[in-house]
């Protein structure tokens, strides 16, 4: 039972490049989330999904897009990476009203 | 915007001592949760307390919630070196209790 798996674990991008972060969960959770964690800032919600085919904006959605084509997968895209998007990105999943389960993060550096 | 604010930002204690961390928040909540994060890892859920509850226990953990003061505390008793981690409180809002707002965390160091 893998739980929540994030791919890749590390990535370095140049400004302006695009990339997609993949999150996969095997717990049949309806809800999935993308957060970013910056030093001294805690976690901030980027986008979330309450079910297959649905997405919604969180606290800091600008510069990111998401898709939830399959229930078990939640993709986070950066269309044109900027240095301000250097961060650690965490994916989480949950049932409604239940605690969230987190992946181990993707460490992204944008030069 | 940050909803929860943990206090202190950092705490260093000796093994066997108790550790207390506090969390304050600003708006009405449906629930408050505590998570632990070991260095380089994702967050792990510790305990959830609902707005109509005042205290909860789980093993060596005790959480209290005072909605009149908009504050919560996490007590870890008889701490161990393995408890060294960052601890975050997160609040679930009324009407959207699945969307959590996290505080900035308390870094706990337990010295052997």
In the structure, what pLDDT confidence band is assigned to residue A96 with cuts at 50, 70 and 90?
Answer: confident
**pLDDT, position B99:** 86
Task: Give the closest-approach CA distance of A102 to chain B in angstroms.
Answer: 6
**pLDDT classification of B3: cutoffs 50, 70, 90:** low
Smallest Cβ–Cβ distance between A42 and the set B48, B97, B104 belongs to B104
Give the pLDDT of residue B1: 46
Verify cis geometry, omega within 30 degrees of 0, for the bond prior to B41: no
Which tokens hold the place of A103? 């992946």
Query: In A, what residues contact B, Cβ < 8 A?
Result: 4, 31, 35, 40-45, 48, 50, 58-59, 90, 92, 94, 96-97, 99-105
List, for residues B4-35, the tens digit of each pLDDT value.
788 899 999 999 999 999 999 998 999 999 99
Backbone angles phi, psi at A83, to 5 degrees: -55, -30
So what's the pLDDT on residue B6?
85
DSSP A80: S
Residues near A39 by Cβ (< 8 Å), separated by ≥ 6? none
Q: Compute the distance between CA of residue B86 and CA of residue B109 in angstroms, rounded to an integer.
A: 9
Average pLDDT over residues A3-28: 97
């Amino acid at each position: 039972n893998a739980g929540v798996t994030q791919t890749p674990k590390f990535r370095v991008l140049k400004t302006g490049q695009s990339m997609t972060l993949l999150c996969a969960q095997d717990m049949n959770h309806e809800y999935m989330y993308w957060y970013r964690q910056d030093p001294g800032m805690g976690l901030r919600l980027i986008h979330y999904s309450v079910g297959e085919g649905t997405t919604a904006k969180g606290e800091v959605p600008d510069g990111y897009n998401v898709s939830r084509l399959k229930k078990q997968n939640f993709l986070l895209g950066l269309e044109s990476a900027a240095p301000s998007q250097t961060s650690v990105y965490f994916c989480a999943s949950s049932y409604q009203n239940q605690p969230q389960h987190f992946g181990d993060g993707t460490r992204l550096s944008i030069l | 915007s940050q909803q929860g604010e943990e206090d202190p930002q950092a705490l260093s204690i000796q093994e066997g001592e108790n550790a207390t961390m506090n969390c304050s928040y600003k708006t009405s909540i449906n629930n408050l949760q505590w998570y632990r994060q070991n260095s380089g890892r994702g967050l792990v859920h510790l305990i959830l307390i609902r707005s109509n509850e005042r205290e909860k226990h789980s093993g060596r953990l005790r959480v209290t919630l005072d909605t009149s003061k908009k504050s919560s505390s996490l007590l870890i008793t008889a701490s161990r070196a393995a408890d060294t981690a960052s601890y975050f409180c997160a609040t679930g809002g009324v009407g959207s209790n699945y969307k959590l707002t996290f505080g900035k965390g308390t870094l706990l160091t337990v010295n052997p």
